[in-house]
């Protein structure tokens, strides 16, 4: 199991770097557009399409799998410490099974749409005819990778349910030493 997780982690890490570069590109394009628009009265006509169709998609979908790997998504674990381990692992397995199915459907649909747009040569009806498949392919890739991470966690939690102890990464325990909102 650790080898599978490590292989997925390498892919997730690479996508996180691409996501960060896309975020940097968003900031640079916005700054360049503002400078060109307000100082030279020559806005970048491609800025909003480039950012909205491509860069934001990469930022979001390439960050999803790595965030899941690092347990960075929102989780409500109020009752989790009170559950017996096998029940907790079974619940996690069910949740990750559902996540696997949903994300697999999303990846499949996005992949099919990207492929159809590529084969048909679909472009946008904007000033610059941007290829549509380039905006859907990153979403399909990110969704496919999060599907693999969900499937890995599902199998790991099923095995954990059977043996009664964690055989897959689990979130770190809540740090009770952190201050609360009331400052206590």
Q: What is the mean pLDDT of the chain?
A: 89
- Candidate from 21-25, 52-56, 66-70 with smallest mean pLDDT: 66-70
Which range is least confidently modeled, 22-26, 125-129, 155-159?
125-129
Read off the pLDDT band of 179 (50, 70, 90).
Answer: low
Rounded Cα gap, residues 37 and 100, in angstroms:
45
130-164, pLDDT tens digit by residue? Answer: 999 999 999 999 999 999 999 999 999 999 999 98
Distance CA(87)–CA(160), nearest Å, equals 10
Could you tell me the sign of the dihedral formed by the alpha carbons of 150, 151, 154, 156, in that order?
A: negative
Cβ neighbors of 134 (< 8 A, separation 6 or more) are 53, 54
**Distant-in-sequence, close-in-space partners of 12: CB < 8 Å, separation ≥ 6:** 65, 66, 69, 145, 149
| % of residues, the chain, pLDDT over 70 | 93
* Residue 1 pLDDT: 76
Mean pLDDT of all residues in 61-74: 87
Among 143, 167, 183, smallest CA distance to 61 is for 143
Contacts of 81 (CB under 8 A, 6+ apart): 174
Indicate if the alpha-carbon torsion angle 92, 142, 169, 21 is positive or negative.
negative
pTM above 0.75, yes or no: yes
Two structure tokens written together for 59: 């930022």
Q: What are the structure tokens assigned to 88, written together?
A: 């907790």
pLDDT(183) > 70: no
Which of 23, 26, 45 has its CA nearest to residue 124?
45
Residue position matching structure tokens 């380039």? 134
Contact criterion met (CB below 8 Å) for 54 and 18: no
Q: Helix, strand or coil for residue 123?
A: strand
Name residues whose C-beta falls within 8 Å of residue 166's C-beta, 6 or more positions apart in sequence.
Answer: 85, 89, 160
What does the domain layout of the chain look like in residue ranges?
Answer: 2-163
Residue 176 banded pLDDT, cuts 50, 70, 90: low
């Amino acid at each position: 199991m650790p080898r599978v997780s490590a292989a997925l982690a390498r892919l997730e890490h690479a996508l996180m770097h691409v996501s960060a570069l896309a975020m940097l590109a968003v900031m640079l394009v916005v700054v360049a557009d503002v400078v060109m628009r307000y100082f030279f009265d020559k806005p970048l006509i491609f800025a909003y399409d480039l950012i909205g169709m491509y860069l934001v998609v990469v930022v979001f979908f390439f960050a999803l799998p790595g965030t899941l790997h690092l347990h960075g998504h929102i989780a409500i674990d109020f009752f989790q410490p009170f559950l017996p381990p096998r029940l907790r692992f079974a619940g996690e397995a069910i949740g990750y099974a559902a996540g696997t199915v949903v994300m697999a459907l999303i990846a499949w649909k996005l992949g099919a749409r990207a492929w159809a747009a590529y084969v048909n040569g679909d472009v946008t009806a904007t000033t610059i005819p941007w290829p549509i498949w380039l905006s859907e392919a990153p979403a399909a890739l990110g969704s496919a990778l999060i599907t693999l991470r969900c499937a890995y966690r599902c199998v790991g939690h099923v095995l954990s349910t059977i043996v009664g102890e964690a055989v897959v990464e689990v979130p770190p325990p809540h740090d009770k030493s952190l201050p609360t909102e009331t400052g206590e």
